[in-house]
């Protein structure tokens, strides 16, 4: 399953820290919520196109660790 497009989707009635999620449309026709948007770890939705959901999650984790270590 490959990500064809990603959009930020607002969640109704969610607390401020959980206001948006990255929703991916896969080549299988399925839609999946990948992860929450974090303002301190900017990751453009376009940078996830062509990846699998697992690769996208790994990319986000690597970005979070880089920011935490001061390597942004």
Query: Which 8-state DSSP code applies to residue 11?
Result: P
Per-residue model confidence (pLDDT) at position 11: 85
Task: List Cα–Cα distances, 3 to 11, 18, 39, 62, in angstroms.
Answer: 21, 22, 22, 18
Among the listed ranges 3-7, 39-43, 50-54, 67-71, which one has the minimum average pLDDT value?
39-43
Burial class of residue 45, CB neighbours in 10 A (0-12, 13-18, 19+): middle
Determine the Cα–Cα distance for residues 26 and 5; give it in Å rounded to an integer: 7
User: Is the per-residue pLDDT at 72 higher than 90?
Assistant: no
Encoded tokens for 40: 């301190």
Per-residue model confidence (pLDDT) at position 15: 78
Q: What is the pLDDT of residues 22-62, one digit of tens each?
A: 999 999 999 999 988 877 787 899 999 999 999 999 999 99
């Amino acid at each position: 399953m490959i990500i064809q497009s990603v959009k930020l989707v607002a969640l109704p009635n969610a607390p401020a820290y959980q206001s948006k999620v990255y929703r991916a449309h896969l080549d299988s026709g399925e839609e999946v919520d990948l992860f929450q948007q974090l303002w301190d770890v900017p990751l453009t939705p376009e940078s996830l196109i062509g990846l699998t959901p697992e690769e996208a999650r790994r990319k986000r984790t690597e970005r979070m660790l880089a920011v935490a270590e001061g390597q942004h």
